Amino acid sequence: MKSIKKKINELRKKLLKYDFFYHTLNQSLISDAEYDYLLNQLYNLELHNKELITLDSPTQKVGSYIINNFKKVVHFSPMLSLENTFDLNGYLSFEKRIKNVEDFGKPALFCCELKMDGVALSIIYEKGVLVRASTRGDGYIGENVTSNAKMIKSIPIRLNSYNIPSRLEIRGEVIMLKSDFITLNNQLALDNKKIFSNPRNAASGSLRQINPDITEKRKLIFFCYGCNFFKTTEEISSHYERLKQCKKWGFLVQKNILLCIQHIEVYNFYKKFEKNRFFLNFHIDGIVIKADSILLQKKLGNNNTSPKWAIAFKFPDKEKITKLIDVKFQVGRTGVITPVGYFEPVKISGVIIRKASLYNKNEIQRLNIHINDMIIIRRAGDVIPKITNVIKNKRLSNIKKIFFPVLCPSCNSLLIKNEDESIIRCHAGFICYAQKKRIIHHFFSKSALNVIGLGPSIINQLIKHNIIDNVMSVFYLTPEKLKKIEYIQEKKSIKIINAILKSKKTTFSRFIYALSIPYVGKTISEKIASYFITVKQLLDTNILELYSISGIGHTISNSIFNYISLDSNRNVIIELTKNIGISWDESDKRNDVLKKTFFFNKKIVLTGKFKSYSRREIKEILIKLGAKILNNISQNTDFLIYGKKVGSKYFNASKLKIKLISEKEFLFLI
Ligand code: IVH
């Protein structure tokens, strides 16, 4: 009792002195953290020895101390976060940066650890006794969770072994095992209570319980990943050695730790745990690599948010949960209406994502998705964001049904559904502003006429200023007209005009692709361009001929035929090729060469099994030689090339007296 009284008096004396210097002389003798810390110690001692409280104690000053379970504590040194990388290059530049800093002649060693996905905790020990535990908070000010931390079995109240420093800070992660998380959620569900969405939230919620008895029941685990000494004489100069010492003091330290010299070892460690992490009973979201030398760490120092001596090499995330805020309906180039979901931003694999396509009406129905629903976002193949699911048991009463529009959101034309209602289209074409800008942009895009510098924003401006209204009008642009757009100057306008002029020399397939015919992408454009030699042939074709082209089915042949049947489209094609002069030398030359081949312009059907090449390879060879591959025999067929085990095509061709070519003859001819 005597020594407690003495300690209390010492603390009061110190604090009153600091108060005097601070308030009266305007001088800070110690840091805020140190002051808070001492005041907290005094408060704890008085709490358990109420008879020793005096009215002049610094704890009794109005406003100086509020009794609060989670009172704010100022950290002695900020609890920073880590710089992230998701790829080896990011790690390599970190390693290079470290190696560039001289570590007193020694080669830099790196310590690789698992990055546990839990809650960061700082614990202060005075002469080996736990006196304070706090969460990270905003990195500078955390919450006092001492009573709760004391309930975690893997946090020693008193340190074991020797070499105990006068004051020590241990930092680490409080986690919940996956198996304990499942058991906890099952129990919460049975008790009709709110469940946790993941082990990290469960760990955080359990640590921040008002009643420490609940924390005790929650089976939390604390893993130590570092420590700070307060006196230089007590230091151990290697991070790895420090962790070994922490283990001796009685802390749990991850057994998967690797000291290494260079990136190959680091990368192997990363790959090993990227693959095996699902077999661990706790979540990890990457690995942490730290410069092992404490001297080097000090030399490197910190940024505002993270230390320069450590980096998190994170595994690509798969999914995140967020809230759907809105659905907007986008009008595509070919008039297809696509619902796009906008949600509260989430970061997946280092990229912030705000929206994802909901594809079509069927997808909205399949997901049974509503505005204000909690949804799961995944980056498919780590690139395109996708809404994969709705968390139905988190649904609140404020959900709103999503109604598919009846009229085009851009031009108000009536939308038309296809048979199964999966595709809903605005058929207004150029009349529809949204389609117009996309069609024009697509026409001059990289894979089409490839006009560099004519991007969507310039096209939008040109349409808005009534300078262009369709694809043709772009060819009549002049530098003067272009300069009407604020940010386009002389030099840029000349550059764009030259690029437009240059784009008139193109290929037939690029031209077809540029037209924005529904379902006609680059591959189909190439097929059409190698079948028809001239624009006239394309415009004069019929649906049967289109359907007979290999690789072109019902939907595509219908779509092409519908397109070329419309006078407005035919006129555009004629205007572009005749008056404006879009042409394709390249294919003409190719055709001249091809004209000399046996198969040039011949309509060919294949049947049976081939030995020398696969059927696909034979088709490719023939197309390169200028042939047209058809699916079925008709009077127009020139040759039937047959392999083994022929089918009905062989007999139909014989009946129609079509020339039959065996595989052997075919090989000879090519
Ligand atoms: S070292 C400056 N080592 O990751 C912070 N942190 O994103 C130095 N974490 O808040 C921390 N496992 O709570 C370190 N082996 C590990 C870790 C680790 C998990 C957490 C830590 C920090 C967060 C940063």
Residue 143 Cα to chain centre, angstroms: 32
| Same domain membership, residue 240 and residue 141 | yes
User: pTM higher than 0.85, yes or no?
Assistant: no
Tell me, using a 6 A CB cutoff, whether residue 120 lines ligand 1.
yes
Indicate if the pLDDT at residue 34 is higher than 90: no
Indicate if the pLDDT at residue 386 is higher than 50: yes
pLDDT in tens, 399-448: 999 999 999 999 999 999 877 667 899 988 878 999 999 999 999 999 99
Note if 115 is an active site residue.
yes
Closest CA to 135 of 206, 204, 39: 204
- Residue 95 pLDDT class (50, 70, 90 cuts): very high
How many Å lie between the centroid of ligand 1 and the Cα of residue 394? Answer: 30
Closest C-alpha to ligand 1, atom 21: 120
Residue 84 · residue 347 · CB < 8 Å: no
Tell me, using a 6 A CB cutoff, whether residue 311 lines ligand 1.
no
From 370, 397, 418, the end of a domain falls on 418
| Same domain membership, residue 331 and residue 294 | no
pLDDT of residue 59: 79
Give the nearest ligand 1 atom to 290 CA. 1
- Of 71-75, 343-347, 518-522, which gets the smallest average pLDDT? 71-75
From 476, 503, 530, the end of a domain falls on 503
CA distance 78 to 228: 12
| Same domain membership, residue 391 and residue 440 | no
From 503, 530, 556, the end of a domain falls on 503
| Torsion angle defined by CA atoms of residues 556, 560, 566 and 571, in that order, rounded to the nearest 10 degrees | 150
How many Å lie between the centroid of ligand 1 and the Cα of residue 81? Answer: 7
Residue 291 · residue 112 · CB < 8 Å: no
Closest CA to 503 of 445, 549, 565, 455: 445
pLDDT of residue 391: 86
Q: Dmax over Cα atoms in the chain, in whole Å?
A: 119
pLDDT of residue 630: 87
Closest CA to 315 of 94, 632, 469, 85: 85
Q: Which residues make Cβ contacts (< 8 Å) with residue 404, sequence separation at least 6?
A: 329, 337, 339, 361, 364, 424
Tell me, using a 6 A CB cutoff, whether residue 225 lines ligand 1.
yes
Give the nearest ligand 1 atom to 115 CA. 12
CATH code (residue 629): 3.40.50.10190
- Of 40-49, 155-164, 589-598, which gets the smallest average pLDDT? 589-598
Q: Which residues make Cβ contacts (< 8 Å) with residue 590, sequence separation at least 6?
A: none
Q: How many CB atoms lie within 10 A of CB 493?
A: 20
pLDDT of residue 66: 41
AA identity, residue 74: V
| Same domain membership, residue 214 and residue 354 | no
| Same domain membership, residue 280 and residue 167 | yes
| Torsion angle defined by CA atoms of residues 109, 113, 119 and 122, in that order, rounded to the nearest 10 degrees | -40
The strand ranges marked E within 232-364 are 258-260, 284-291, 310-314, 319-331, 337-348, 351-357
| Same domain membership, residue 122 and residue 163 | yes
Q: Mutual orientation of helices 178-190 and 199-207 as an angle, nearest 10°?
A: 70
Does 551 reside within a domain? Answer: no
pLDDT of residue 64: 44
Give the nearest ligand 1 atom to 302 CA. 2
How many Å lie between the centroid of ligand 1 and the Cα of residue 82? Answer: 7
Does 540 reside within a domain? Answer: no
| Same domain membership, residue 236 and residue 106 | yes
Does 399 reside within a domain? Answer: yes
Does 557 reside within a domain? Answer: no
Q: Are strands 129-135 and 119-126 parallel, antiparallel or unpaired?
A: antiparallel
Residues 161-182 have a mean pLDDT of 92
Structural domain span for residue 482: 429-503
Any idea which residue has 């060693």 for tokens?
A: 109
CATH code (residue 21): 1.10.287.610
Tell me, using a 6 A CB cutoff, whether residue 291 lines ligand 1.
no
Indicate if the pLDDT at residue 65 is higher than 80: no
Total domains present in the chain: 5
Closest C-alpha to ligand 1, atom 12: 115
Any idea which residue has 């697509």 for tokens?
A: 442
pLDDT of residue 427: 86
| Same domain membership, residue 447 and residue 385 | no
Burial of 398 (0-12, 13-18, 19+ CB in 10 A): exposed
Q: Is 422 helix (H, G, I), strand (E, B) or coil?
A: coil
Q: Are strands 659-662 and 167-175 parallel, antiparallel or unpaired?
A: unpaired
- Of 160-169, 174-183, 259-268, 274-283, which gets the smallest average pLDDT? 160-169
| Same domain membership, residue 460 and residue 327 | no
Does 567 reside within a domain? Answer: no
CATH code (residue 498): 1.10.150.20
Does 577 reside within a domain? Answer: no
Does 552 reside within a domain? Answer: no
Choose the catalytic residue: 5, 17, 99, 115.
115
User: Which residue has better confidence, 498 or 18?
Assistant: 498
Does 561 reside within a domain? Answer: no
Closest C-alpha to ligand 1, atom 10: 81
| Same domain membership, residue 272 and residue 150 | yes
Tell me, using a 6 A CB cutoff, whether residue 137 lines ligand 1.
no
| Same domain membership, residue 229 and residue 173 | yes
How many Å lie between the centroid of ligand 1 and the Cα of residue 239? Answer: 14
Q: Which of 29-38, 65-74, 320-329, 525-534 has the highest mean pLDDT?
A: 320-329
Give the nearest ligand 1 atom to 113 CA. 15
| Same domain membership, residue 88 and residue 207 | yes
Residue 637 · residue 649 · CB < 8 Å: no
Within 13 Å, how many C-alpha atoms sit on residue 131's CB side? 21
In angstroms, the first-to-last Cα distance of the chain is 106
